[in-house]
Structure 1
Amino acid sequence: MKALIAGAGRLGTQIAQVLAAAQNDVTLVDHDEDRIAELESRLAVRLIAGDACEPEFLEHAGALTTDVVVATTGSDEDNLVISLIAKRRFAVPRVAARVNDTENTWLFDHRWGVDVPVPAATPLISLIEEATGATDTVALLRLSKAGVNVIETAITAQSRAAGRALADIVLPAGTVITTVIRDGQPTVPTSEMRLQPGDELLLVSHTATEQEVHAAFQ
């Protein structure tokens, strides 16, 4: 699958990482050249700086041949414009757009080219499943169907888990770390691995809440 993601914030970056890890062809674009430059050493995806609200730029980024466009910018106006261009000009089969302000939800429909409106609070895994229309994008997606929570957390310089080995992290009962994404690459966690700022973790749990998992690391 070819995916074009507009908006290289935390959400857009995470979507790009997960889709790339599942062997999809991913392009991530953002108007901020510094942000794109920052991600070049971290992500194994195609990165392009430019304004996704401009049809010419979207064409340059591959909109003519992409299977899905996901608009994840922090601006509802931009996400609607991107969606409309993707659907009307480039006939992208599936378009998903993040809704930042719930009062604008009514705008995110077929009239603006949006196939899948995604509320900002939607969990990452659910967002990817809805945006791509595939429940097997990564193996973790199937877990949500089996009553297992899929939870993500990111390590920053301020996180108390930064610099600590995974063996030293006390996790809630019934919780397992499945993947550590480091420098854009998914890594199988080991007990000796020391967490670094910038690491992103995906965990599964039968019982723990997102708040309980985050408390173990933050």
Structure 2
Amino acid sequence: MYILIAGAGKVGRYLAQNLSEMHQIGSIDLNQTHLSQLEGKPNITTYKGDATDPKKLEEAGILRADIVASVTGDDEDNLVIAQLAKQVYQIPRVVARVNDPRNQWLFTREWGVDIAVSSPQIILQLISEEVSLGEVLTLLKLRVGELSLIEVTIPQNSP
């Protein structure tokens, strides 16, 4: 499987290094310093360029990508990259990072995003669930929160 990651900052490098153990990775970024930390690693190919530019995306192999992950530090860029990936190149799965939770409403399937990932939103949700559910533990969410696998601990003295 070929995964194209737009953004080679901390998040992009972490994804590339971990996913490269089982997949071919393309990493595209404007910052050569970020890319140089990935160069020479097995299964990772780096591309210097602007991932909002279709020509640069094509150089980075978007035409053969199974998944595109847009994880730059800029929401506008992430949304443009996601739209290009989904609407122009028909990439089956597009994941986009949401840096500012106020922009979450834009990161939808209509805008080309299959999965939107917002760290502050995830932390808020985890805390809210922990506070409201007590002994109920969410083990796994499927289909973007539509289904959940949960564990409930019932005390022995419970009726």
Equivalent residue, structure 2, for 1:16: 16
Q: Is 1:46 equivalent to 2:40 in the alignment?
A: no
Paired amino acid for 2:29: D
Q: Distance in 2 between matches of 1:119 and 1:35?
A: 22
Q: Distance in 2 between matches of 1:116 and 1:106?
A: 12
Equivalent residue, structure 2, for 1:65: 64
**Deviation at residue 40 of structure 1 after TM alignment:** 1.6
TM-score normalised by structure 1 residue count: 0.54
3-state SS in 1 of match to 2:91: coil
- Structure 1 unmatched runs, 5+: 124-128, 134-144, 148-218
Equivalent residue, structure 2, for 1:4: 4
Q: Distance in 1 between matches of 2:111 and 2:90?
A: 13
Equivalent residue, structure 2, for 1:111: 110
Q: Distance in 2 between matches of 1:9 and 1:62?
A: 20
Equivalent residue, structure 2, for 1:86: 85
Equivalent residue, structure 2, for 1:210: none
Equivalent residue, structure 2, for 1:56: 55
**Deviation at residue 62 of structure 1 after TM alignment:** 0.8
TM-score normalised by structure 2 residue count: 0.73
Q: Distance in 1 between matches of 2:72 and 2:11?
A: 9
Q: State the aligned residue count.
A: 127
**Deviation at residue 37 of structure 1 after TM alignment:** 2.4
Paired amino acid for 1:4: L
Q: Distance in 1 between matches of 2:100 and 2:38?
A: 27
Structure 1 moving runs of 4+ over 6 Å: none
**Deviation at residue 86 of structure 1 after TM alignment:** 0.5
1:35-56: CA deviation from partner (whole Å, max 9, x where unpaired): 2124325x32111110000011
**Deviation at residue 112 of structure 1 after TM alignment:** 1.6
**Deviation at residue 146 of structure 1 after TM alignment:** 10
Percent identical pairs in the alignment equals 42
1:146-165 equivalences under 5 Å are none
Paired amino acid for 2:45: R
1:131-210 equivalences under 5 Å are none
3-state SS in 2 of match to 1:69: strand
Equivalent residue, structure 1, for 2:128: none
Q: Distance in 1 between matches of 2:103 and 2:34?
A: 27
**Deviation at residue 111 of structure 1 after TM alignment:** 2.1
3-state SS in 2 of match to 1:86: helix
Q: Distance in 2 between matches of 1:105 and 1:3?
A: 23
Q: Tell me if the contact between 1:33 and 1:50 (Cα under 8 Å) persists in the aligned partners.
A: no
3-state SS in 2 of match to 1:47: strand
Q: Distance in 1 between matches of 2:58 and 2:33?
A: 22
Q: Is 1:33 equivalent to 2:43 in the alignment?
A: no
Equivalent residue, structure 2, for 1:77: 76
Paired amino acid for 1:108: F
Q: Tell me if the contact between 1:97 and 1:118 (Cα under 8 Å) persists in the aligned partners.
A: yes
Q: Specify whether residues 2 and 103 from structure 1 end up closer, same or farther in structure 2 by C-alpha distance, changes over 3 A only.
A: same
Which structure is higher in helix share?
2
Paired amino acid for 1:94: R
